[in-house]
Amino acid sequence: MEIILATFNDNKAREIAAIMAPIEVKSLKEFGVIIDFDAVEDGETYRENAFKKVRAAAGEVEGIIVADDSGLEVDALGGGPGVHSARYAGEGAAASDLYTKLLGELEDVPEAERGARFVCVVAVRYPDGSEESVEGECRGVITREPRGGGGFGYDPVFYLPERGLTMAEITAEEKNSISHRANAFRALKKMLLEKETI
């Protein structure tokens, strides 16, 4: 079985391919497809954005098409930046700009109120046009300064109390076992493999 991942993010594609094995993961790049997902990701929820991506890709390729949308929800910000996480510091901002802005907004927030969660919704569209979605999350706490050189996005400021490390300080293997994306894609893999045996 193979799925087509509607993303151009190489980091994300590698991470998902490791989680989904033995299901083969191909990216739109391999088909020479170019879609402006910035124009597509204008939904008000992760689910809406994920389905917009699979539907846009379905116009270009055939197969089981999968896309995700994810974000960081901080308790003290009422669940923000949420669906706007990738553009929180403006279009084209670097990861360091994103978490620097976040840390600035949380400067006066005490430790007990710095709880947060990463959320990921995965949409899947089958060749017959039917669709489903699954969700995963990972809870943590926002640090006061970035730590670690691994991961990407908000990982350096997302602290995992049970490990005593930020998401950027754990190995890729550890991240693939606990992250919001890992949890969502594991649920997808279980669903797809069960369908294959029906």
Q: Where in the sequence numbering do the catalytic residues fall?
A: 69
Neighbour-count burial of 174, counting CB atoms closer than 10 A to its CB (0-12 exposed, 13-18 middle, 19+ buried): middle
SS3 26: strand
Residue with tokens 């279980």: 190
Determine the Cα–Cα distance for residues 148 and 81; give it in Å rounded to an integer: 22
Determine the Cα–Cα distance for residues 68 and 181; give it in Å rounded to an integer: 8
